[in-house]
Every structure is written in structure tokens, then in C-alpha cells.
Amino acid sequence: MTTIHDVARHAGVSVATVSRVLNNSGTVRTDTRARVLAVIDQLDYHPSAMGQSLRLNRTRIVMVVVPEVTNPFVGEVVYSMELAARSRGYSILLHEYHGDQLTDLQLQQYVSTRRIDGLIFLTAEAREKQFQQLAQQLPTILACEYVDHWDIPSVSIDNIAATLDVMRYLMGLGHTRILLISGSAGNVSARDRLRGYRIAHEQAGLPVCEELLQEAEPTPAAAYATLTGAVERGLDFTAVFCASDVLAIGALRALQDKGLAVPRDVSVVGFDDIMFAPFLNPALTTVHQPAREIGERAIAMWLCAAEGKAQDYPVTVRHELRIRDSCAVARR
Amino acid sequence: MTTIHDVARHAGVSVATVSRVLNNSGTVRTDTRARVLAVIDQLDYHPSAMGQSLRLNRTRIVMVVVPEVTNPFVGEVVYSMELAARSRGYSILLHEYHGDQLTDLQLQQYVSTRRIDGLIFLTAEAREKQFQQLAQQLPTILACEYVDHWDIPSVSIDNIAATLDVMRYLMGLGHTRILLISGSAGNVSARDRLRGYRIAHEQAGLPVCEELLQEAEPTPAAAYATLTGAVERGLDFTAVFCASDVLAIGALRALQDKGLAVPRDVSVVGFDDIMFAPFLNPALTTVHQPAREIGERAIAMWLCAAEGKAQDYPVTVRHELRIRDSCAVARR
DNA sequence: CTGTTAGCGCTTTCAG
DNA sequence: CTGAAAGCGCTAACAG
């Protein structure tokens, strides 16, 4: 392993000088610099990240805390974060989070041992307290969600407005009994989508029927089970609004298996617009979230926060209801 | 920031002693240990990861190189790797790889600057040379793929056997003109699936019709375009075998949009068995890969390699053809 | 059983 | 413009 000392010795200069040419800091005579550069090249020298980290007290690693990489929407956001971070010399440490205490502890460990320079949360989850505590210790950004009473930089769509778009669209088609399948309640997005659901009913002067509010684990299988159960119980509804496309895929199938045609008998709307949405059968009407943009903005905002610069937040990016083939006029 | 020196001072011992109790190394008198532990607790001391890294020359970070986190199958593998790694005190640094020179360079940088302890490749891609070079420098595992002429620990299903299963199933249903949509050619899995395709034809005494061999980017949209084009050109086939479920989703839709019913007119088979496969319409017949198991085994194997222990490889895990509703007897 | 000490590889102040 | 030296936080060899 060749170190800065080897380079210094071979070039006949001190390590300080090598460091200067490495970092373009201080002043180095042109010919000295050339000599050092030549040796660096010849020895194929690369400065040790650990040495630098210890000295500078930063790792150039930011941890991305996600609820489920397996969800293509999350994957897309993480993907763009990785590219954006890398292009700025940072790396992404991936961390799955499912709201358990052990993970809380592990997260705090990462922070305490200074293994990471900062955090980006893709989920604010139920454990807001824990997250707030972490956010106090390191630069932190919230992506995909927004929490009113928490003063932290965030980038997301307006989840409530998006839900209202969906609800108004559905109500415009004559639907009044809309089944909501949301993710677990701790999730802010789920909360916002529920909130939007209620507001829409209020605005339309319609009562919210609590039995139409269903929760499911974030898998198609769970949504399938939930919806199958609802149909079997004879629950009365003409449309289903799923808090994510992942859920919608299970919902679509459950309805079809129960002999209900989509959209003829029941309309279905998803959320996220994952890459599969337009190719489902029927093509899924859903809320498009600019995943790539969210990822890139989150990284940019994190960098900004890490440099201690002031910035405006929350940042709200544009969503869009993509109308495809899974909704029709209510027949009842 | 509290350091080991603070702890030592407060406990009235030397840093060596603190280090000993921290690492359970050497011998420490019970009461001394208790005193040190108390101070650690009181000061809420956590050893600096950077200090340890520099000293021990390891980061406890392993880089996972993936072709596309956005693919749910890949997501699932990465997910299980993250959990498995974490439970052993390691973290996952995510790195998207698309076969470009810049990324090759960045990967080498990570290795040269000793930012990571090792590598796990989810793709062997075209750039085998580059990967082999990296593998020489750090403990490396290949997951999901197997390369005959490359002596490296790997864990994967038997891609050729799996393809043969698919082909025999399809041929058993009377299909002789089977369209193959594979990912980009550099990909080993794609190569194996193509190889299996050819072997099956040979065994059946059927000629391989080159025009039935199609390539597509790994997105449903690309598969959709490819297949739509094939149908429009009047290409004659009764079944489509997709090298991944992601492709199959696009294929399914393309056929339906062209007025071809699946499976009545055309049969479709996917690969991977992502969580959406059973919920598609029709439910997709596909090859199940044990994603979780692959991820866990890969981490275990990496650890083994990192400790310099000998191990048997390649490890072949079980695949399974999951027959669902997207295939039927050929009508021509 | 415990302390002293020498680094791991790097950056940066301070002198010159 | 350059070098000497201190020190980031830690572990481990060595001495006692």
C-alpha cells in the first residue's frame, strides 16, 4: 500500500507538499507540483479514505433510510439519489427501516460512531421522536413526505392535494362509496392520503363511512387479502383508492378474481406511478410522483444543509393524476 | 465529542484499558471493568468508527454493485443483503452499474482508496475484465450469476437448467416458435438464458430461428416496443419467453394491445417471480428465484471470503417453475 | 492486570 | 514556496 509518505520520499518533498498538490490548497511551485504529480501517477497512489476521514471528521457517506427498497417507487428514488450523490463524491448507505426498536438503536449507533455524515429519510413513520432526535445530531432531509409540525428540510409532492385530485376525479365519475386501502397508519403519506380522503368527503358534503377505511401491509398480497375480505363481507363500494401502486396491483387482481370487472364494476386508482402502472391490465390510473426529481433534490438539499447554508423548505414538487383505463363512471 | 481519552481520564485508567474492555481483549480486573463501563455509560461514549477503521484498516462496509435497484427482484436481493450484513455489523454501500467507463473508474477508486472492505456483484455484465481486476484486490462474491471460466465464489440458481425447464414446458405444450426477449447481451443471465434456449432447441431437434431472438432494455416499455414491433412485422410465434418479469409485464400488455389474448393466442413466461407476478392479469408463469436466500448466502459467503476461510463454490440454489395462467397449449 | 507508546494516513498550522 | 510537527481516535505490542 503506497502512502503519502512514499510519494513524498520519491518526489523529494515533504508530505505537506504532496497534500497541497492533492487538494489544490496552499501554494506549490509549478515544477514541484509537476514532479509530485508524476510520482503519484507512477506509484499509482490514491489517498486513503480512512486517513482523510479521521483527519477531516467526515466520511462522505449519507445514509438513506427506506421503508422498502422492494417497492419500485422507492427503488427509483434511491436510484436517483445514488447517482446524484456519487456525482458529488458521496456514497449512499442503504438502511431498511420497519419501525422496530432494534433498528432505532442501530441508527443511533451509526450517528454516534460518526459512521455517516447525514441522513435522508424516505419515511417519517410513527417514530417521529426518534427521527427528530437523530436529525438534531446530523444534517437530515425528509424525502417523499412532509410533517407540518417538524421543522426540517423536506421535498415531496403535496400528498393531500394529490389525494384530493384523485377523490374529485372519482366523485366526478359519480363514485360516493370509495374504499381506501392505505399502508400502515404510522406512515405520513398514509396519514395524508387519509386526511385528503376525509377532506374530499367534507367538501362534497358526504359522510365518511369508517368501514371503507382499510389498512394493509405494503404488499400486493396484503391488498389482495384485504379486498377479497371486503367483497366477501358484502361491503358496498364502487371504487377503490390505493395508497400505492403496489397495493393497487393486488387490489386489481382481487376484484377480478371475485368476478368484478375493472373498471366496469369497480374503479381503481393507485399512487406513485411505478414503471409497471401503464402496462397493467387494465392500465392503472394513478398519481404520478417525480421520483427522480425527488431523489436529486433531496441530495442537493442535503448538501446544502451539510454546508450550513440556508434554504427554503418544504420543497413541493409537482404530482399529476395520470388517467388511464382503470376508472369509469359509477353505475350505482 | 467524547473520546477514549475522556473515558480513560474519568475512570482513572489508561486508554489501553478502556480499549480492552471495549473489545473484550486482554484481561481486565472485574472492578476496573465495571468502573470503565460505568463511565462509558455515564459519558454516553461511542468509539469512533473512523479511528477504528484507520487503525484496523477496515471499514465494515461492503459495496453491492447492481444493474437496476428499480427491478423488484434486485430490490429483494439487496433488501436481504442489507439485513444480513447489518446483523453482522456490516453496512451496504449501493452502487448502480451500467457498464460505462466512468463507473468502472469510480469502482476502482473505491477500492484504491480503501473505502470499502469488499464487493458483491449482482451483475457480471460485459465488463468481466474490469470486475476480475477488482476481485483480485478485495474479497468479492458474485450473486445471481455464474461465470464458468472465472474462479470466484458465486451463488445463483442454475440459469441454464431453469431455462431448459421453461423451454421444455413450453415445447410440451406444443410451442415450437418461441420468441425470446432477453436483456442486454453483456449480461451473464441473459447469456445463459439464451444458451438454454439453444440447447432446448437442439435437444428437441428444432432449428433456432434467429429472428425470434430479441433484445430489449430492462424495462416494460422496451419489451412492449420490441414485441409490438415483432407483431407488426408479422413475425410468427406462439409463445414469448422473457428473461425477466419486468420484461414480461411489457410483453403481456403489448400482446393484449395487438388483440392477441394471453394465453389463448400466445403464451408468456417470465423469470424471477417478483412479488407482482401472481397478481398480473393473467397471473404470470415464471421461474422463481429465492431472492432472500441468494442475498443471505451472498453475505455469508462474503464474510467467509473476507476471513480467508476456504469454501465450496459455486453455490447453486433451487429455482422452481411456477406455473400460473399465462401459458396454454399451442393452437398452431 | 495495567500503562506507555508507537503508529494507522492524512491535513494544517506554524516557522522558515 | 516548503518543511516540521502535531494530532484526528483508536489498537496492540511491549514493559512492568
**Chain segment B156-184, per-residue pLDDT in tens:** 999 999 999 999 999 999 999 999 999 87
Burial class (CB in 10 A: 0-12, 13-18, 19+), A69: buried
pLDDT band with cut points at 50, 70 and 90 for residue A63: very high
The proportion of chain B whose per-residue pLDDT surpasses 90, expressed as a percent, equals 85
Report the 10 Å Cβ neighbour count for B30: 7
Q: For chain A, say whether B190 makes contact (Cβ under 8 Å).
A: no
Average pLDDT of chain A is: 93
Using the predicted structure, report yes or no on whether residue A194 has a pLDDT greater than 90.
no
Q: For residue B37, which amino acid is it?
A: L
Put simply, the answer to whether A72 touches B70 (Cβ < 8 Å) is yes
B47 CB below 7 A from strand D atoms: yes
Please report the pLDDT score of residue B303 as a whole number.
96
Across the interface, which of A78, A110, A252 has its CB nearest the CB of B69?
A78
Nearest in space to A62 (alpha carbons), one of A80, A48, A82: A82
Q: For chain A, say whether B102 makes contact (Cβ under 8 Å).
A: no
Using the predicted structure, report yes or no on whether residue B25 has a pLDDT greater than 90.
no
The proportion of chain B whose per-residue pLDDT surpasses 70, expressed as a percent, equals 99
- Chain A, residues 136-175, CB within 8 A of chain B, namely none
C1' of nucleotide D5: residue with nearest CA: A16
Give ∠ CA A52-A57-A60 in degrees, rounded to 5.
70
Please report the pLDDT score of residue A128 as a whole number.
81
Reduced to 3 states (helix: H, G, I; strand: E, B; else coil), residue A248 is helix
Using the predicted structure, report yes or no on whether residue B94 has a pLDDT greater than 70.
yes
Instruction: Please name the residue ranges forming H helices in chain B.
Output: 4-11, 15-23, 30-43, 49-56, 72-87, 101-112, 128-137, 159-172, 188-204, 220-232, 245-257, 291-306
Please report the pLDDT score of residue B176 as a whole number.
95
Residues in chain A: 332
CA–CA distance, A246 with A189 (Å, rounded to integer): 14
Q: For chain A, say whether B113 makes contact (Cβ under 8 Å).
A: yes
CA–CA distance, B12 with A17 (Å, rounded to integer): 40
Helix or strand holding residue A254 (H, E): helix A245-257
Please report the pLDDT score of residue A229 as a whole number.
96
- Look at the domain A159-289 and name its fold: Rossmann fold (3.40.50)
Across the interface, which of A75, A106, A114 has its CB nearest the CB of B69?
A75
Residues 6+ apart with CB under 8 A from B196: B159, B160, B161, B162, B163, B164, B166, B167
pLDDT tens for A38-60 read: 999 999 999 999 999 999 999 99
Put simply, the answer to whether B72 touches A76 (Cβ < 8 Å) is no
B43 CB below 7 A from strand D atoms: no
Nearest in space to B269 (alpha carbons), one of B301, B244, B294: B244
CA–CA distance, B135 with B117 (Å, rounded to integer): 11
Residues of A in contact with B62 (CB under 8 A): none
CA–CA distance, A11 with A18 (Å, rounded to integer): 9
CA–CA distance, A246 with B309 (Å, rounded to integer): 42
Q: What is the largest CA-CA distance in chain B?
A: 88
CA–CA distance, A65 with A63 (Å, rounded to integer): 6
CA–CA distance, A141 with A159 (Å, rounded to integer): 17
pLDDT band with cut points at 50, 70 and 90 for residue B27: confident
- Look at the domain B61-157+291-319 and name its fold: Rossmann fold (3.40.50)
pLDDT band with cut points at 50, 70 and 90 for residue A102: confident
Q: For chain B, say whether A225 makes contact (Cβ under 8 Å).
A: no
B17 CB below 7 A from strand D atoms: no
Q: What is the dihedral of CA B196, B200, B206, B211, to 10 degrees?
A: -30
Residues of chain A with CATH 3.40.50.2300: 61-157+291-319, 159-289
Using the predicted structure, report yes or no on whether residue B188 has a pLDDT greater than 80.
no
The proportion of chain A whose per-residue pLDDT surpasses 90, expressed as a percent, equals 85
Give the closest nucleotide to B33 (alpha carbon vs C1'): C1
CA–CA distance, A146 with A112 (Å, rounded to integer): 26
Q: For chain A, say whether B284 makes contact (Cβ under 8 Å).
A: no
Using the predicted structure, report yes or no on whether residue A234 has a pLDDT greater than 70.
yes
Using the predicted structure, report yes or no on whether residue B186 has a pLDDT greater than 70.
no
Separation in Å, CA of A253 to nearest CA in chain B: 6
Q: Report the CATH number of the B4-47 domain.
A: 1.10.260.40
Instruction: Calculate mean pLDDT across residues B11-35.
Output: 91
Residues of chain A with CATH 1.10.260.40: 4-47
Q: Per mean pLDDT, which range of A105-114, A202-211, A301-310, B121-130 is the poorest?
A: B121-130
A25 CB below 7 A from strand D atoms: no
Give ∠ CA B157-B158-B160 in degrees, rounded to 5.
140
Residues 6+ apart with CB under 8 A from A206: A171, A176
CB A262 within 8 A of CB A255: yes
Average pLDDT of chain B is: 93
Please report the pLDDT score of residue B185 as a whole number.
60
pTM of the model: 0.94
Instruction: Calculate mean pLDDT across residues A238-254.
Output: 96
For A28, the grid coordinates are 506549490
Instruction: Calculate mean pLDDT across residues B5-14.
Output: 93
Please report the pLDDT score of residue A190 as a whole number.
78
